[in-house]
Amino acid sequence: MRSEKEPKVGAYCYAELGTMIRKSGADYAYIMETFGPFFAFIRLWIECMIVRPCSQAIVALTFSQYVMKPFFAECEPPDNAARLLAVCCICILMFVNCYDVKWATRVQDIFTYAKLLALFVIIAAGGYELFAGITLDFPKPNF
């Protein structure tokens, strides 16, 4: 079992690859240099056709679950409704990206600011609770 003090080997590998292979393209460039164009193409194709769409679908489904949860406080939101909302979110973002790049940049900026605002609110609320002496959710240390 790996302890938390052990280094992350993957980060070291990417750092070494980045210093040895000075081409842009990250994984694609490294695989192209090491294994050739066929495997680099296959890796890029899998990334574009499988990995990225799946990760976007997971993010959209998670977003729809969080958005619908306040309306279904006593139970889980219906799966079909969550999926439909996720599809609508993906379609809206796809339309914005296809319609105008400046709009897409603005939408991305708005979501970034919203994430930062939520993070600051969580940190401020936690700090207030901590300094007020409300530590109910913290376990007692065993000394």
Per-residue pLDDT of the chain (143 residues; tens, 9 = 90+): 555 666 678 788 888 888 888 887 778 888 888 899 999 999 989 988 999 999 999 999 999 999 999 998 888 889 999 999 999 999 999 999 999 999 999 999 999 999 999 999 999 998 998 888 877 766 766 76
Q: Which amino acid is at 142?
A: N
Domains of the chain: which residue ranges? Answer: 12-98, 100-137
DSSP for 62-84 reads HHHHHHHGGGGSSSPPPHHHHHH
Q: What pLDDT score was predicted for residue 11?
A: 80
Rounded to a whole number, what is the largest CA-CA distance in the chain? 61
User: For tokens 């930062």, what's the residue?
Assistant: 116
Q: What pLDDT score was predicted for residue 5?
A: 61
On the 0-12 / 13-18 / 19+ scale of CB atoms within 10 A, 107 is middle
Q: From CA 143, how far away is CA 141, in angstroms rounded? A: 6
